[in-house]
Amino acid sequence: MTLFWMIVLGLAMGLVFGIALEKSRVMEPGVLIGQFQFRTFIMLKMFLAATTTGLVVLAVLNGGFGVPLGPKAAAWGPVIVGGLILGAGIALAGACPGTALAQIGAGYKDAWAVVAGGILGAMFYSYNMDWIHAALDWGSAGKMTFVDLIPLPFWVLALIAAALLVVLMVVLEKISPSAMEKAGVDVAMDDGSDTQAGSARLHPAE
């Protein structure tokens, strides 16, 4: 595949991803903040659905076509520290690297600051990656997979995990229906506050 078609494919995938984010409303700041406050679960449901889809696709590719897997080595330092930093940033900004561009497209002005911060963070990392890697070089556990622990083919385990995630999504939907969650976000946005794009936020939990 030439560079031109790689760029075209990347733009097409980004377009589909952005449309999915906008239509599912996962990119809205109120939805993201509500997830961290455990007031809405739209974000979690979307991530579970994406994970389930990925498991099914990998199961088909690996079990049906013999495509080899390439798991990365587990490194607890970067996972824990990076996860805490990313989670804190999402909770404070109401955006993440994946949703910020979709928010810009939808007219959320705050998202420009998130994108700028992401660029500055990437620049800081690129100039300081040596000491960052050294500081977080702990807790390495090598390449661990469930296949190493359970004597079953990967595709079987992947389909079992996908089925369990579907059950979890059904339970979450029963407990907290998406329609009610979206209505709650709309109420929070319209409750005496500026409803223009860029200022929509769920009110902090009392």
Q: Using one digit for the tens of pLDDT, what is the confidence trace for 94-110?
A: 999 889 988 998 899 99
pLDDT of residue 139: 84
DSSP letters of 40-73?
--HHHHHHHHHHHHHHHHHHHHHHHH-PPP-PPP
Q: Are 73 and 140 in contact (CB under 8 A)?
A: yes
- Per the structure, the count of domains in the chain is 2
Q: What's the pTM value of the predicted model, to 2 decimals?
A: 0.80
Q: Are 143 and 68 in contact (CB under 8 A)?
A: no
193 — pLDDT class (breaks 50, 70, 90): very low
27 and 113 in a single domain? The answer is no
Answer whether residue 26 shows pLDDT above 80: yes
76 and 132 in a single domain? The answer is yes
- Residue 186 forms part of a structural domain: no
- Residue 9 forms part of a structural domain: no
pLDDT of residue 189: 60
Answer whether residue 203 shows pLDDT above 50: no
Answer whether residue 195 shows pLDDT above 60: no
pLDDT tens digit string along 125-145?
Answer: 999 999 999 999 888 878 888
107 and 78 in a single domain? The answer is yes
pLDDT of residue 186: 67
Range of the domain at 118: 72-144
Answer whether residue 163 shows pLDDT above 90: yes
User: Measured between alpha carbons, how far is 132 from 201 in angstroms, rounded to an integer?
Assistant: 33
174 and 152 in a single domain? The answer is yes
Residue 74 CB: number of other CB atoms within 10 A?
Answer: 14
Q: In degrees, to the nearest 5, what angle opens at C-alpha 48 toward C-alphas 70 and 154? A: 35
User: Measured between alpha carbons, how far is 26 from 84 in angstroms, rounded to an integer?
Assistant: 20
192: region left, alpha or beta (phi > 0 left; psi from -120 to 50 alpha): left
